[in-house]
Structure 1
Amino acid sequence: MPKFIEAIKGFGVTFGTMFKKPITEEYPEKPGPVAKRYHGRHQLNRYPDGLEKCIGCELCAWACPADAIYVEGADNTEHERYSPGERYGRVYQINYLRCIGCGLCIEACPTRALTMTNEYEMADDNRADLIWGKDKLLAPLRSGMLPPPHPMAPGATDDDYYLGNIGPVPDKITEEAR
C-alpha cells in the first residue's frame, strides 16, 4: 500500500505541472532584457571631440590571461593625430575565440579607452569574423565629434584631455569638416 501512495504523489506532481503555463523565452526573435552592468563585448572609446582614447600602450594585451588582445602602437604626427599625446593604437584586435570576459584588460587601461558594453550577441559561423579589429571596436561618432585624424582642440594640452576639460566640437565646425 505505501508504494501505491508514493506513486499517486508522483503523479500529482506530474499532473500539477502539466496544466501550468510554460515559461518560454523566444530568444532570437525577442531578446530579453540585459542588466545594465553586464559585461559583453569591448568598446574603444573616444574623447568628446572625436579623438581616440587609446594611446597604444599595450597594457591591456599584457594583462589579458588568454592572450586575446593584440595592440600595435604608432606615433602621432602633427598632420595625422588620432589621439592626444605622442602615441595611438594603430592596430587593435580582440580575438573573441580566446576572450574569457574577465575584464582585466579594462582594469589595466590607464585612459579608460577600453570598456565593456552590455551587448552579448557575438556568435558567428566563421572563425575569422570573431577577430574584431579597430573598425568594429571603436565607439561610433556622435554629434560634435570629428573623425580622426585631426588636431587637438586649439590651446589644449594632453592634460586637458585626460582631466576631461575638452568638450564636443561645435556643430558648425563639424558640418564644415564633413
Structure 2
Amino acid sequence: MITVKRPQLNFFERLYLGALFKGMFITLRHALANLFSQKHIITYEYPEIKKPIPEDYRAEHRLMQRPDGSPRCTACMLCATACPANCIEIVAAEHEDPRVEKYPAVYNINLLRCIYCSLCVEACPCDAIRMDTKKIEQAGYSREHFIVDKDYLLHNHPEDRSPYSIALY
C-alpha cells in the first residue's frame, strides 16, 4: 500500500479565498450578462408564455365523433385490453340502429392512473380515441375530477382539430 502525503496548505490557502472569489466572479458575470442580454434566457414564464408542444405529443384523450354526433367507439374493448394501467372503463350497450352493433354506454378514463403510453390509440381499429389535444395542464381539488366520462371526452377537442374522423368504420 502506498501512502500519498498531501501538501501542507498555508493559512491563506486554507481559507479558500481564491476559489471563493473565482466562483463569485463567475456568478456575477452570468448575472450581469443575463440582466443586460435577454437572448440566452431559457426559462418560460408559464401562464403568459407557453412552451411549444410537439405535434406528436401524447396529451389528454379525446373521443372522435361521427357526423351525426355519436361517438365512433364501437365498444370493442381493445383499448381497455391494451391499457397496461387499466385506467379505461367501458360498459357496452346495444344500439337501436341495426347497422351499428353496440356503443359505449359508459366510457371513463382515470387520468391519475393513465401513464399516457398511447397504446389505447394504437389498439383502436376505428380511430375512435386520440391523444392530440395538447392539453398538459392537469389540476384539480379531488380525485373525482380526474375521472373523465364520455361527454367530456367527446367535447375535448382543440380549436384547430376537427371532432370528426374520416376513418372507414
- TM-score above 0.5: yes
1:137 pairs, out of 153, 157, 160, with: 153
Q: Distance in 2 between matches of 1:73 and 1:54?
A: 10
Aligned AA (2:128)? A
- Assess if the C-alpha contact under 8 Å between 2:111 and 2:147 holds in 1: yes
Identity %: 39
Match of 2:80 in 1: 61
Deviation at residue 49 of structure 1 after TM alignment: 3.9
Aligned AA (2:117)? C
For residues 68-147 of structure 1, what are the structure 2 equivalents within 5 Å? 68-78=87-97, 85-117=100-132, 118-139=134-155
Q: TM-score, normalised by structure 2?
A: 0.72
Q: Distance in 2 between matches of 1:122 and 1:64?
A: 20
Instruction: Please provide the CA RMSD for this pair.
Output: 2.8
Distance 1:75 1:105, change over 3 A: same
Distance 1:163 1:71, change over 3 A: same
Structure 1 residue ranges without an equivalent (≥5): 142-160, 165-178
Q: TM-score, normalised by structure 1?
A: 0.69
Q: Distance in 1 between matches of 2:168 and 2:89?
A: 27
Q: Distance in 2 between matches of 1:28 and 1:127?
A: 24
Deviation at residue 123 of structure 1 after TM alignment: 1.7
Size of the aligned set, in residue pairs, is 143
For residues 138-177 of structure 1, what are the structure 2 equivalents within 5 Å? 138-139=154-155, 163=168
- Assess if the C-alpha contact under 8 Å between 2:90 and 2:106 holds in 1: yes
